[in-house]
């Protein structure tokens, strides 16, 4: 009897299908949501123009804008400075993150292919492409997709070092560490434990050449790169009263119990990274806890059973990274002291790889079990369950991506403002809306330099917190030299004390656009 061969798809087919899926998901509704405040801020901080930018800031150089407006390292803005030389259109601008996300997906593919197999690698790329929180930031012009790109490849090189120490790999690893920190400050929590692990590997293997090179390159990178970053960017940015680099809030421990607080923070980060749901999330907290518990038990089981030293080292590094992140954030030295938000994006590549490899190793360990039932039917049940769970998760993610929403719809505001010949009346741009308004205003087909004559913008008074109407009355007297116009347009993000101040001054407020950004016509 002839032996039948199992059909095996070539790798180009499985990988190709996964990456085609990525491109479909990444390009889907890429510009449906308008560019919002942070994106437009990044845009103007990436323009190498000299002098003040009308409608945005009086800061005269690209460096000043990055150092005193931004809350992040400079790498993304440097790259965008080059990218925007091709086009300043919103599709092209956002497409940069899609490219970064693709290179990140390639890094993920090669990591999982190295540690598991090509089928698991392709499956992981599909999962990656359906994760709402990832696609949200891959569809946004920001540093987060760039960070993912660097970190997935950093993880890949680290595992290569685990296989074999070499000068080239250590130098590439060092370079990726520097790039990661220059892309996002949170990456500093990651590079320290992983850098130390490389030195420990060299010490255990008595590879003195690699040890000397590792120490030398890490010290040089930390001293030179870290020193320059600290002096030129961290310190100026930390001086900003709205800085995300620290908070003066009191240190709070949930329920007064440090262990409860730690796991509470872990739950918030896990929730944000996987399902990012805020509305009525309390109704499914048990599902989040259950998922964390199952994954945690699988990781502990695999760590106890696996023969892969690299896996256990990777796990220990993950634990160290989160402990550093938890302590620094709890001390209000990072991310306003908040857990479960975009500031912990640097954790994502670590957790994704750890969970994916743990699930794969779990199946392999079961397959090698002495029990015929576990190695046969048990494995098939587990594999089927994991695939079905992955499909359900992808469907959920695809639904969330379809519902992608606009944070600040300044595109609609500018269109309505132009439709009413808004430039003929005084127009006042509130603090957070000035970037997006200016972007759509200056990139509109009807734009003319003379239309700036009646526009004023607020770059002084923050509007997130209630300040009282008197603050705004004093501000208006300053802007208009005591002669506030009887008729004007106001662009803001929500009804706030600023609008109330106009009401107290006797103005009637007519909403022209009432979406995630507001356009009011004020008359008295």
Residue 35: band (very low, low, confident or very high) from pLDDT cuts 50, 70, 90: very high
Pick the last residue of a domain from 350, 377, 402.
402
- Which stretches of 9-50 are DSSP H helices? 11-27, 37-45
- Residue 68 within a domain: yes
- Residue 43 within a domain: yes
Q: Are residue 187 and residue 75 in the same domain, yes or no?
A: yes
194 Cβ contact list (under 8 Å, min separation 6): 154, 158, 177, 317, 321
- Residue 120 within a domain: yes
- Residue 2 within a domain: no
Q: Are residue 497 and residue 461 in the same domain, yes or no?
A: yes
Mean pLDDT confidence for 355-370: 91
- Measure the CA–CA gap between 100 and 180, rounded to whole angstroms: 13
Q: What angle do CA 153, 154, 156 make, to 5 degrees?
A: 60
Chain position carrying tokens 């095996």: 8
Taking the C-alpha atoms of 390, 396, 401 and 404 in order, what is their torsion angle to the nearest 10 degrees? -150
- Predicted confidence (pLDDT) per residue in 80-127, tens digit: 999 999 999 999 999 999 999 999 999 999 999 999 999 999 999 999
Q: What is the structure's pLDDT at 2?
A: 41
Percentage of the chain exceeding pLDDT 90: 74
- Predicted confidence (pLDDT) per residue in 264-290, tens digit: 999 999 999 888 766 556 677 888 899
Q: Are residue 320 and residue 456 in the same domain, yes or no?
A: no
Pick the last residue of a domain from 402, 419, 446.
402
Do you know the residue count of the chain?
524
- Predicted confidence (pLDDT) per residue in 409-438, tens digit: 999 999 999 999 999 999 999 988 999 999
Tally of domains within the chain = 2
Q: What is the structure's pLDDT at 497?
A: 87
Mean pLDDT over the full length of the chain = 91
- Residue 123 within a domain: yes
Q: What is the structure's pLDDT at 3?
A: 41
Task: Return the sign of the alpha-carbon dihedral for residues 127, 128, 129, 134.
Answer: positive
Q: Are residue 511 and residue 388 in the same domain, yes or no?
A: no
Indicate whether 45 pLDDT > 90: yes
Q: Are residue 191 and residue 210 in the same domain, yes or no?
A: yes
Indicate whether 461 pLDDT > 80: no
Indicate whether 477 pLDDT > 60: yes
In this prediction the pTM is 0.94
Indicate whether 24 pLDDT > 70: yes
Q: What is the structure's pLDDT at 252?
A: 82
Q: What is the structure's pLDDT at 279?
A: 59
Residue by residue, DSSP assigns 249-280 as SPP--GGG-HHHHHHHHHHHHHHHHHT---TT
Indicate whether 516 pLDDT > 80: yes
Mean pLDDT confidence for 445-457: 93
Q: Are residue 468 and residue 394 in the same domain, yes or no?
A: no
Measuring CA to CA, how many Å separate 46 from each of 43, 67, 77, 89? 5, 12, 5, 14
- Residue 3 within a domain: no
Q: Are residue 377 and residue 417 in the same domain, yes or no?
A: no
Strand partners, 522: 488, 509
Walk across the sheet containing 508-514 and list its strands.
455-457, 427-429, 487-492, 518-523, 508-514
Q: What is the structure's pLDDT at 464?
A: 55
Q: Are residue 76 and residue 197 in the same domain, yes or no?
A: yes
Q: What is the structure's pLDDT at 7?
A: 57
- Measure the CA–CA gap between 58 and 159, rounded to whole angstroms: 47
258 Cβ contact list (under 8 Å, min separation 6): none
- Predicted confidence (pLDDT) per residue in 213-267, tens digit: 999 999 999 999 999 999 999 999 888 756 656 666 778 888 889 999 999 999 9
Q: Are residue 254 and residue 365 in the same domain, yes or no?
A: yes
- Residue 1 within a domain: no
- Residue 6 within a domain: no
Q: Which long-range contacts (CB under 8 A, 24 or more apart) does 312-319 make?
A: 313/162, 313/197, 313/201, 314/158, 314/159, 314/353, 314/354, 314/357, 315/354, 316/197, 317/193, 317/194, 317/197, 317/350, 318/350, 318/351, 318/354
Q: Are residue 395 and residue 499 in the same domain, yes or no?
A: no
Q: In terms of C-beta density within 10 A (0-12 exposed, 13-18 middle, 19 or more buried), how is residue 249 classed?
A: exposed
Pick the last residue of a domain from 371, 402, 433.
402
Mean pLDDT confidence for 470-480: 90
Indicate whether 370 pLDDT > 70: no
* Full residue range of the structural domain in which residue 247 is found: 11-402
Q: Are residue 300 and residue 383 in the same domain, yes or no?
A: yes
Q: Are residue 462 and residue 348 in the same domain, yes or no?
A: no
Mean pLDDT confidence for 310-337: 94
């Amino acid at each position: 009897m002839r032996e039948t061969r199992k059909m095996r798809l070539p790798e180009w087919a499985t990988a190709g299908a996964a990456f085609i899926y990525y491109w479909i998901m990444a390009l889907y509704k890429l510009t449906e949501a308008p560019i919002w405040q942070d994106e437009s801020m990044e845009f103007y901080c990436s323009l190498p123009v000299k002098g003040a930018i009308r409608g945005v800031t009086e800061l005269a150089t690209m460096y000043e804008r990055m150092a005193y407006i931004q809350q992040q390292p400079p790498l993304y803005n440097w790259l965008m400075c080059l990218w925007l030389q091709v086009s300043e259109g919103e599709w092209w601008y956002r497409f940069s993150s899609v490219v970064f996300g693709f290179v990140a997906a390639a890094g993920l593919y090669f990591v999982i292919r190295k540690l598991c197999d090509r089928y698991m690698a392709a499956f992981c790329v599909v999962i990656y492409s359906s994760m709402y929180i990832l696609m949200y930031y891959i569809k946004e012009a920001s540093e987060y997709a760039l960070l993912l790109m660097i970190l997935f490849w950093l993880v890949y090189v680290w595992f290569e070092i685990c296989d074999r120490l070499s000068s080239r790999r250590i130098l590439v690893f060092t370079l990726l560490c520097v790039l990661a920190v220059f892309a996002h400050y949170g990456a500093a929590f990651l590079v320290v434990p992983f850098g130390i692990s490389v030195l420990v590997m060299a010490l255990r293997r008595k590879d003195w050449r690699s040890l000397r090179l590792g120490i030398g390159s890490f010290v040089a990178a930390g001293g030179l790169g870290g020193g320059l970053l600290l002096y030129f960017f961290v310190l100026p940015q930390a001086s900003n009263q709205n800085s995300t680099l620290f908070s003066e809030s009191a240190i709070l421990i949930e329920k007064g119990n440090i262990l409860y607080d730690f796991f509470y923070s872990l739950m918030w980060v896990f929730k944000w990274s996987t399902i990012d749901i805020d509305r009525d999330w309390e109704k499914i907290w048990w599902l989040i806890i259950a998922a964390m518990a199952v994954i945690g038990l699988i990781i502990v089981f695999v760590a106890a059973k696996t023969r892969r030293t690299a896996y256990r080292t990777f796990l220990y590094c993950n634990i160290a990274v989160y402990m550093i992140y938890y302590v620094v954030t709890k001390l209000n030295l990072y991310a306003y002291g908040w857990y479960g938000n975009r500031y912990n994006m640097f954790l994502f590549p670590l957790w994704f790889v750890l969970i994916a490899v743990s699930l794969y190793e779990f199946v392999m360990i079961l397959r090698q079990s002495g029990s015929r039932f576990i190695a046969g039917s048990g494995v098939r049940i587990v594999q089927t369950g994991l695939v079905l769970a992955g499909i359900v998760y992808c469907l959920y993610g695809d639904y969330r991506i379809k519902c992608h929403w606009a944070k600040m719809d300044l595109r609609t505001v500018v269109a309505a403002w132009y439709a009413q010949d808004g430039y003929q009346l005084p127009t006042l741009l509130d603090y957070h809306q000035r970037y997006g308004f200016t972007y759509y205003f200056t990139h509109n087909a009807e734009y003319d330099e003379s239309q700036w004559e009646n526009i004023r913008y607020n770059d002084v008074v923050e509007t997130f917190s209630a300040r009282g109407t008197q603050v705004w009355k004093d501000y208006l007297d300053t802007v208009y030299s005591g002669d506030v116009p009887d008729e004007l347009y106001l662009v803001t993000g929500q009804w706030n004390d600023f609008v109330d101040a106009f009401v107290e001054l006797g103005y009637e407020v007519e909403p022209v656009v009432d979406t995630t950004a507001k356009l009011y016509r004020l008359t008295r």
